[in-house]
Structure 1
Amino acid sequence: MRYLLMPCTVYTGTEVLPDHAVLINGERIEAVLPASGELPAEVPRRDGRGLHLCPGFVDLQIYGGGGVLFSVEPTPAVLARLRAHTLRHGTTSFMPCLPTSPPALMAQALATVQAALPTMPGLLGLHLEGPYINPLKKGAHQAEFIQTPTPQAIDELLTAAAGALRLMTLAPERVSPPVVARLRAAGVVLSAGHSAATYEEASAAFEQGVSTTTHLFNAMSGFESRAPGLVGAVYDAAQVQASIIADGVHCAYAALRISQKILGERLFLITDAVENSTYGAYRFHQQGDYFVDENGTLAGSALTMLTAVRNCVQHVGLPLPEALRMASLYPARVIGLANEIGRIAPGYRADMCLFDDDYQAHATIISGEFHAYSAAPHAYSAVPTA
Structure 2
Amino acid sequence: MSATAFIAREIFTGSEIQTGKAVLVKDGKVQGITEADAIPAGYRKADLGGYLLAPAFLDLQIYGGNGKLFSAEMTTESLEATYEYCLQGGCTQFQITLATNSIEKFIRGLEVAREYRNGGGKGLLGVHLEGPYINPVKKGAHIEKFIKKPEESEIRQLLQKGKDIFRMMTLAPEQCDRTCVELLLNSGIILSAGHSNATYEQAIDGFYQGIPAATHLFNAMSPLQGRQPGMVGAIYDNNDVRCSVVCDGVHVDFASIRISKKIMGDRLFFITDAVAEVAYGEYVHVFKGDRYTLPDGTLSGSSLTMLQCVRNGVEKCGIPLPEALRMASLYPATVLGQQAQWGSIQPGARADLVLLDEELNLLQVIVDGER
Interval containing the TM-score (normalised by the shorter chain):
over 0.9
The one-letter amino acid paired with 1:283 is: V
Instruction: Give the 3-state SS of the residue equivalent to 2:311 in structure 1.
Output: helix
Do the aligned partners of 2:3 and 2:42 also contact (CA within 8 Å) in 1? no
1:207 is matched with: 208
- Bigger drift between 221-230 and 360-369 goes to 360-369
**Alpha carbons 1:19, 1:50 under 8 Å: kept:** no
Contact between 1:12 and 1:55, CA under 8 Å: does it hold in 2? yes
- Cα distance in structure 1, aligned partners of 2:39 and 2:163: 46
Deviation at residue 50 of structure 1 after TM alignment? 1.3
Q: Which runs of 4+ in 1 moved over 4 A?
A: none
Q: Which amino acid aligns with 2:83?
A: R
| CA deviation map 1:185-214 (0-9, x unaligned) | 111000000000000000000011111000
Stretch moving more, 16-25 or 241-250: 16-25
For 2:101, the aligned partner's letter is S
Look up the SS of the partner of 1:93 in the other structure.
Answer: strand
One-letter amino acid of the structure 1 residue matched with residue 88 of structure 2: R
Q: Secondary structure of 1:162's match?
A: coil
For 1:127-142, list aligned pairs within 5 A: 127-142=128-143
The within-5 A match list for 1:41-190 is 41-118=41-118, 119-190=120-191
| Whole-angstrom distance in 2 between the partners of 1:20 and 1:70 | 41
User: What is the correspondence of 1:144-293 to structure 2 with a 5 Å cutoff?
Assistant: 144-293=145-294
Cα offset for 1:42? 4.7
Residues in 2 aligned to 1:147 and 1:123: alpha-carbon distance in whole angstroms: 28
Q: Tell whether the 8 Å contact from 1:193 to 1:213 is kept in structure 2 after alignment.
A: yes
| 1:227-281 residue CA offsets vs partner (Å, 9 max, x unmatched) | 0000000000020010001001111111001100110000000000011111001
* Counterpart-to-counterpart distance in 1, 2:115 and 2:211: 27
List alignment gaps of at least 5 residues for structure 2: none
1:363 pairs with 2:364: yes
**Counterparts of residues 284-363 of structure 1 (less than 5 Å):** 284-363=285-364
Q: 1:85 deviation in Å?
A: 1.8
Instruction: Give the letter for the 2:252 counterpart.
Output: C
- Residues of 2 paired with 1:8 and 1:116: CA distance? 37
What is the SS of the residue equivalent to 1:9? strand
Cα pair 1:55 1:344 within 8 Å, conserved: yes
Letter in 2 for 1:104: E
* Maintained 8 Å contact 1:172/1:202: yes
RMSD between aligned alpha carbons? 1.2
Identity over aligned pairs, percent: 45
Runs of at least 5 residues in structure 1 that lack an aligned partner in the other structure = 371-386
User: How many Å apart are 1:83 and its aligned residue?
Assistant: 1.2
Conserved? CA contact 1:134–1:195, under 8 Å: yes
Q: For the residues of structure 2 that align with 1:305 and 1:353, how far apart are their CA atoms?
A: 12
Return the letter of the residue paired with 1:219: A
Query: Aligned partners of 2:78 and 2:324: how far apart in 1?
Result: 29
How many Å separate the matches in 2 of 1:175 and 1:366?
A: 39
The question of whether the paired residues in 1 share the 8 Å contact of 2:57 and 2:328 is answered with yes
| Aligned partners of 1:137 and 1:220 also within 8 Å | yes
Aligned counterparts of 1:331 and 1:58: Cα–Cα separation in 2 = 6
- Higher deviation after alignment, 100-109 or 229-238: 100-109
Instruction: Report the AA paired with residue 77 of structure 1.
Output: E
* Secondary structure in 1 matching 2:59: strand
Whole-angstrom distance in 2 between the partners of 1:2 and 1:8: 20
* TM-aligned CA deviation for residue 174 of structure 1: 0.4
1:92 is displaced (CA, Å) by 1.4
Render the CA deviation track for 1:31-70: whole Å, top value 9, x for unaligned: 21222x3112353222311111111101000011222111
How much has 1:89 moved relative to structure 2? Answer: 2.0
The Cα of 1:139 is off from its aligned counterpart by 0.4
SS in structure 2 at match of 1:312: helix
* Greater Cα offset, 277-286 or 154-163: 154-163
1:31 alignment counterpart: 32
Is contact 1:57–1:305 with CA below 8 Å preserved after alignment? yes
Q: 1:145 and 1:359 mapped to 2: Cα distance?
A: 41
How far does the alpha carbon of each residue in 1:59-102 deviate from its partner, in whole angstroms, 9 at most, with x for none? 00001122211132121111112112212321111101000012
Contact 2:8 2:53 in 1 (8 A): no
Alpha-carbon distance in structure 1 between the residues aligned to 2:182 and 2:330? 27
Aligned length: 369
Q: SS where residue 203 of structure 2 aligns? A: helix
Taking the aligned partners of 2:29 and 2:42, their CA distance within structure 1 comes to 19
Counterpart residue identity of residue 53, structure 1: L
- Give the conservation status (yes or no) of the 8 Å contact 2:236–2:264: yes
